[in-house]
Amino acid sequence: MADDNDLPRQSPEPLFSSNDAHPADGVPESGPAEVDASHTRTQASQLIDEVIYSDIGVATLLQRLKQSIASARDFAAFLKKRSILEEEYAQGLKKLCKSTHESFRRPEHRQGSFAQQNDEMIRIFDRMSENGIQFVLSLHQMQEDLSDMTSNIERGRKPWKQTGLSAEKRAQDSENLMEKAKAKYDSLAEDYDRVRTGDKQSGKIFGLKGPKSAAQHEEDLLKKVQAADTDYASKVNTARAQRQELITTLRPQSVRALMSLISECDAGLTLQLQKFASLNEKLLLNNGLSLSPLKQQEQSQDAQPRSLREAFHLIDNDGDLNSYILSFLSKVPPKRPEINYERHLTLAGQQPMSTAANRQSQLLLSSPSGAGSAMQTAPQLSTTLNTHVPLSGSGPDAQSPVDRSLVGAHQPQYPGGSNGVTSLPGPSSFQPTFADQTTPGGHSAPYPGELPPLKPVFGVSLDELFRRDGSAVPMVVYQCLQAVDLFGLDLEGIYRLSGTASHIAKLKAIFDNDSSQVDFRNPENFFHDVNSVAGLLKQFFRDLPEPLMTTEHYAEFINAARVDDDIIRRDSLHAIVNSLPDPNYATLRALIIHLNRVQEHSHVNRMNAGNLAICFGPTLMGSNTGPNIADAGWQVRVIDTILQNTYQIFDDD
C-alpha cells in the first residue's frame, strides 16, 4: 500500500554553486583562512537553498521583492522632494543675483571697487545656481529611472506571484485530499478487520433494506475497503505527480525569476544611491571651486581666478570715497571773492556809524528787496493756506458733500489712483468732468430728483423687496458686489475710502427708479468710480428699516462675540446666522463670501478681515447710533469671526 512518506523530497541543483570554492587545475591551493571562508560560503549557500526551495521559499522571496520595490519607491519619492527643494533654492538664488546686480547698478549705490567686487560675488553665486540647476536635472532623471524600474519589476512580480503560489496551492490541496483518502481507508480497514476476526458488536445490524447478517456485513465492508484503497492509491499518485512537478519545474522557475527580479531591483537602487552620492559630491565640489577656485601655476597672479574672500579683500573704501568726491570736481562753483565792507562815497566824510546802526544796515543790505520783501511774505502765505482744499477723510468737515464732490470729481478714472492719494488741481481746473455730465446710459445727467422713484429700493425692507422682486438678494446688492469683484478687488482702501457724494446720489436715484435696468459690468455705468459703488452698497444697508442682522438677534450676536474660545464663538455665530430670515440670510451670505474674496487680495488692497469688519460691523448690525454704540468692539468681532470662518458658516457654491 502506498504511503505519503514515499513522495520524493529531493531539491534541485543549488542556486549558488560552490564549485568556485575548489582550486582550479594549475592554481596553488589556498591557505587555511581562505579554505575556511570558502567552506563558510558553501554552508551558507546550502542553507539558503534549503529555505528558498522549501514550501515557504516562494512566499519568502515575494515578501523580499515587495520590500525591495517599496525601498526603491521611497527613495524615488525622496529624490523628487529633494529636487523640488533644490530647484526652488537654485531658481531663487538666480533671481536674487539678477535683482541684486540691477540694484547695485543704480546711481544711489556705491560704485568703484565695491561695485566691481560685488559683480564678482554675483557671478560666483550665479555659477552656484547653475550648478544647482544641473543637480536638479540629474535628480529628476534619477527619479524617473527609479519609477520606471519599480513599475517594470512590479509588473514582473505579479505573474510569478500567481504562478508560484498557485503551484504551491495545487500541491498542498492534492496532499490534503490524499490525507483524507488515507484516513477513510484506514477507518474502513479497521472495521473490516474487526468483523472478519469475529469482534462482533452487540445488537443487530440494520441496513436500508432491513437487518443484515454477519456475512453480508463483512462482504459490504470488504467492498468499501477495496474502493477506499483504490481511491487512496489514486490520490497518492496525483499528489506524487503534483509534488514532483512543483519541485522539479514550477518552484525552481519561480525561485529563479523572483531572485532575478530582487537582484535587478536591489542593483538598480544601489546604482542610483551611488549616483546620488556622486552628484552630491560633485555639487559641493563645484560650489567650493566657485567660492575658492584652484590656482593655476602657469598663469600670472593677476590672471588667477579670485575667491570670494579675495574679492571682498580688494574693496578699497578710501579709494571709492575719494573717487566719488573727485567726480564732482568739475561742478565746484568758482571761488567767491573775499567779503569786505566798503563805505559809500556820500558817507566817506561822515563819522562812523554806531555798532547797532551798522548791524541794522548790514541786515538791510543783505536782503535784496529790503523790508518791503518781508511785508509781502505774510499775505502770500495766507493766500496759499486759504486756497488749500481738504482731502476726503481729513479734517472735521471731510464728510460734507461739497468737499467729497470736489475731490471725487478730479480723481483719475478707474483703475488708476489706487494709492489713495489724490492730487489737487489749481482753482481754475474745478470744472465738471464727463462723468458728471452724463448718466450711465450716455444721456444728459438729470439731478437725482429728476428720476421718479418708480420702484424704490433704498429704505425698503428686505422682506418687501423679496415679495416685490422675487429675489432673495436685492438687485442693488448684486450689482455692487459684481462691480467690486470685477474692478475693485485690487483697489487700495476699497470700502474704507469714501466715494463721490454726487455719484452716490445719482446711482441711488437710478436704482430707486428701476434697478432691473442697471448693469455694472460696464464701468461707464458707475462713472468709473468703484469707491462710489462701495459707498452705495454701505448706504443701502444703513437705510434698511431693519438691520441686516436684525434687532431681534442683536443681543445673541453680542453675547456670542464675548466668548473667548474661537471654536465655540464660531459655532454660536453659525447657529444664530442660520436662524436669520431667508432674505437676510441670503443677502448676508452673498456679502460675506464677497468680502472674503476682498480679503484674499489684502496684500494689494490693504483690506484684511479686521479692516473690513471695522467698516461693516455697525453698518450690518444697525447699532452705529443710540445706546448700542458701546458695543462697537463686539460688533466688529462678530463680523471678523464670520469672515475668518466664511466657508465653515456658509457653503461655497
| Stated pTM of the model | 0.41
State the pLDDT at residue 383: 33
User: Mean pLDDT score of the chain, rounded to an integer?
Assistant: 78
Higher pLDDT, 527 or 293: 527
pLDDT at 304: 72
Q: Which of these, 417, 456, 68, lies nearest to 273 by C-alpha position?
A: 68
Contacts of residue 541, Cβ cutoff 8 Å, sequence gap at least 6 = 547, 548, 616, 619, 620
Residues 165 and 483: their CA atoms lie apart, in Å, by 69
Task: Say if CB 142 and CB 85 are below 8 A apart.
Answer: no
Structural fold of domain 462-648? Phosphatidylinositol 3-kinase; Chain A (1.10.555)
Phi/psi at 419 (5° precision):
-80, -5
On the CB side of 555, CA atoms within 13 Å amount to: 2
Is 542 in contact with 504 (CB distance < 8 Å)? no
Summarize pLDDT for 250-262 with one digit per residue, the tens. Answer: 888 888 888 899 9
Mean pLDDT of 182-204: 76
Q: What percent of the chain has pLDDT over 90?
A: 39
Which of 268-272, 410-414, 440-444, 628-632 shows the lowest mean pLDDT across its residues? 410-414
What lies within 8 Å, CB to CB, of 211 at 6+ separation is: 204, 205
How far is it, in rounded angstroms, from Cα 248 to Cα 13? 10
**pLDDT tens-place string over residues 492-532:** 999 999 899 999 999 999 999 988 889 999 999 999 999 99
pLDDT, one tens digit per residue, over 343-359 is 767 665 544 444 444 44
- Domain spans of the chain, in order of start: 45-196+215-293+306-314, 462-648
Tens digits of per-residue pLDDT, 49-58? 888 888 888 8
Tell me how many helices (H) and strands (E) the chain has.
22, 2
Q: Where are the beta strands (DSSP E) in 80-239?
A: 205-207, 210-212
Q: How far is 227 from 204, CA to CA, in rounded Å?
A: 25
Residue 198, pLDDT > 90, answer no
The CATH number fitting domain 45-196+215-293+306-314, selected from 1.25.40.10, 1.20.1270.60, 3.30.450.20, 2.115.10.20: 1.20.1270.60
Q: Which amino acid is at 634?
A: W
